[in-house]
């Protein structure tokens, strides 16, 4: 994955790069380990920009998404993790839930296509 | 259409009088001896949905290995060099060593790590190291022991019985009209999840057979889909089959979506979209059920094929021991062509994952309490008739009558 940060014109979202992880499993665990301050910050930073991020990434077919664009996609996927925490639970995960350490998340076809796992 | 909450509050029991309306004993969920009975009378003889599409093993030599705890078996499914999908016991016919570890892969054949005996992708024994020292070895008779395999609409099933009591087609026959036409082939694997649950398989499954718990267990995760006019999501359609299979439709109230949900709706089919779906999906109860969300199709004993408007998921409550279950779920969506579709699908995957974790926590707490013996029976509402049906089917197969 690119160490350079996020592609233009989204470089200003780079403070959230630590959430731009290439697998669903990693993004879920990052979310569950995060504080609500972090998740709320991520959510607020992206919520109004998500349509523009989607439109920007949709310039390419997913199968040909250039490598430097991938962190932006992973960050958009992490936004959805943060959204459940912020919009539904007001805490990182469901208040009454089975422990995530008993859960294994395997990649789907799109994640494999991107080489995220 | 009037809400069932305002009409007959108990519409289902009269349709299935053989199930009765009395309390259901919990013995079968907590007694280790009962689990052994289930293993013998149910698990070993039923068609087992492997949560696997035949398209996931496209090339000759593609294989998966699954340990089936409930059947005390480890099964190897492999596409042969003749293009045919077969299942075998994952056991070397020399001295019984396991041939391949649990997982998936691609190979030209299977070599046993113990003494190097080698089998081809059709299961034939093709190489024996230092063969000359064996006495009258008949290699043709020492192929991998076969396991019955069949597919229904691309789903791979195996049956561990020597002679299955019925064909897979017969076992699934009542789903031919309701489920078979669903466009499964338009979708691909979007994510797969496995959870270990400290609860009996039936206790685990029970929370996935009714909507009544939604208002409590899922009030935060999908509270927006529950309307004040129908606070307990009273199910409108339940079909129970003689052989234990079930179909239950879940509806979701139309609602103003949250920002993330709206983004998901804008770019694809979504778990919480409910009756807003505009495309017709054959093989579902979309046109029978007000605010239809999805259908839960339970294949006795412990798997489901659940179909929604543009996505489906297949899951299984794998029995491991009387107090232990592995819950496995595979979620399928159209292959995203653009990033926006993948972002949309991620929303549904996360919602369903969080919901599952909420359900499974309840299952573990329930099992812990039931084990104490403090209550000997469950009291079930008409909305929980599928739970009742499961206990009845299990009892009948095990030769134990349930009091009505």
Condensed to tens digits (0 to 9), the pLDDT of residues B265-282 reads 999 989 988 766 678 899
Q: How far apart are CA B17 and CA B14, in angstroms?
A: 5
Partners of residue A51 in chain B, C-beta under 8 Å: 263, 266
- Residues of A within 8 A of B191 (CB-CB) are 24, 105-108, 111
Domain ranges of chain A: 23-93
Distance (Å) from the alpha carbon of A102 to chain B's nearest alpha carbon: 5
The model's pLDDT over B299-315, given as tens digits with 9 standing for 90+, comes to: 999 999 999 999 999 99
DSSP alpha helices (H): ranges in B9-90? Answer: 27-30, 32-41
pLDDT, tens digit, 9 for 90 and up, residues B21-57 = 999 999 999 999 999 999 999 999 999 999 999 999 9
Alpha-carbon span B36 to B26, nearest angstrom: 16
CA B97 to CA B71: how far, in whole Å?
18
pLDDT digits (tens, 9 = 90+) for B230-268: 999 999 999 999 999 999 999 999 999 999 999 999 999
Cα three-residue angle B283-B286-B290, rounded to 5 degrees: 155
Nearest CB neighbour to A61, from listed B189, B196, B338: B338
CB neighbour list of residue A25: distance below 8 Å, 6 or more residues apart: A104, A105, A106, A107, A117
Element containing residue A54 per DSSP (H, E): helix A50-57
CA-based nearest distance A40→chain B, Å: 13
Interface membership of B62 toward A (CB under 8 Å): no
User: Which ipTM did the prediction report?
Assistant: 0.96
Angstrom distance (rounded) from CA B377 to CA B362: 18
Q: Where are the beta strands (DSSP E) in B123-271?
A: 125-127, 146-152, 155-159, 188-197, 238-240, 246-251
Please tell me the pTM assigned to this model. Answer: 0.95
**Residue B25: both structure tokens together:** 């004993």
């Amino acid at each position: 994955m690119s160490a350079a940060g996020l592609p233009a014109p989204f470089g200003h979202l780079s403070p959230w790069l630590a959430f731009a992880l290439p697998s669903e499993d990693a993004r879920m665990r990052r979310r569950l380990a995060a504080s609500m301050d972090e998740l709320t910050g991520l959510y607020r930073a992206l919520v109004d920009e998500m349509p523009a991020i989607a439109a920007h990434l949709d310039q390419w077919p997913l199968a040909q998404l250039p490598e430097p664009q991938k962190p932006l996609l992973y960050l958009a996927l992490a936004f959805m993790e943060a959204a459940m925490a912020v919009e539904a639970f007001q805490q990182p995960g469901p208040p009454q839930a089975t422990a995530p350490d008993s859960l294994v998340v395997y990649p789907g076809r799109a994640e494999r296509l991107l080489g995220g796992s | 259409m009037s809400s069932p909450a305002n009409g007959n509050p108990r519409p289902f029991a009269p349709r299935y009088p053989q199930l009765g309306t009395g309390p259901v004993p919990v013995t079968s969920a907590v007694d280790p001896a009962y689990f052994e009975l289930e293993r013998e009378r149910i698990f070993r003889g039923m068609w087992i949905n492997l949560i696997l599409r035949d398209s996931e093993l496209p090339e000759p030599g593609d294989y998966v290995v699954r340990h089936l705890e409930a059947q005390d078996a480890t099964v190897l499914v492999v596409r042969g060099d003749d293009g045919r999908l077969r299942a075998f016991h994952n056991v070397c016919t020399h001295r019984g060593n396991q041939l391949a570890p649990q997982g998936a892969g691609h190979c030209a054949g299977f070599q046993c790590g113990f003494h190097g005996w080698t089998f081809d992708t059709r299961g034939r024994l093709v190489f024996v190291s230092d063969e000359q020292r064996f006495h009258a070895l008949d290699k043709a008779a020492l192929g991998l022991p076969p396991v019955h395999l069949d597919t229904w609409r691309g789903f791979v099933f195996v049956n561990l019985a020597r002679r299955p009591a019925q064909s897979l087609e017969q076992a699934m026959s009542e789903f031919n009209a309701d489920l078979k036409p669903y466009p499964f082939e338009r979708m691909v694997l979007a994510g797969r999840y496995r959870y270990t649950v400290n609860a009996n398989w039936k206790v685990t499954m029970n929370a996935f057979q009714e909507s009544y718990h939604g208002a409590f267990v899922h009030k935060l995760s999908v509270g927006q889909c529950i309307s004040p006019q129908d606070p307990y999501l009273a199910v409108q359609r339940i079909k129970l089959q003689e052989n234990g299979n079930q179909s239950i439709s879940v509806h979701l109230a139309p609602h103003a979506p949250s920002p993330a949900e709206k983004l998901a709706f804008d770019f694809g089919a979504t778990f919480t979209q409910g009756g807003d779906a505009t495309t017709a999906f054959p093989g579902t109860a979309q046109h029978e059920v007000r605010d239809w969300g999805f259908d839960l199709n339970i294949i006795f004993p412990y798997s489901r094929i659940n179909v929604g408007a543009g996505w489906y998921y297949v899951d299984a409550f794998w029995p491991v021991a009387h107090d232990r279950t592995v819950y496995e779920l595979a979620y399928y969506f159209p292959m995203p062509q653009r990033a926006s579709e993948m972002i949309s699908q991620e929303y549904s995957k996360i919602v369903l994952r969080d919901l599952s974790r909420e359900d499974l926590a309840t299952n573990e707490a329930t099992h812990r309490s039931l084990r104490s013996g403090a209550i000997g029976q469950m009291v079930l509402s008409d909305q929980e008739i599928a739970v009742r049906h499961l206990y009845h089917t299990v009892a009948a197969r095990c030769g134990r009558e349930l009091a009505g």
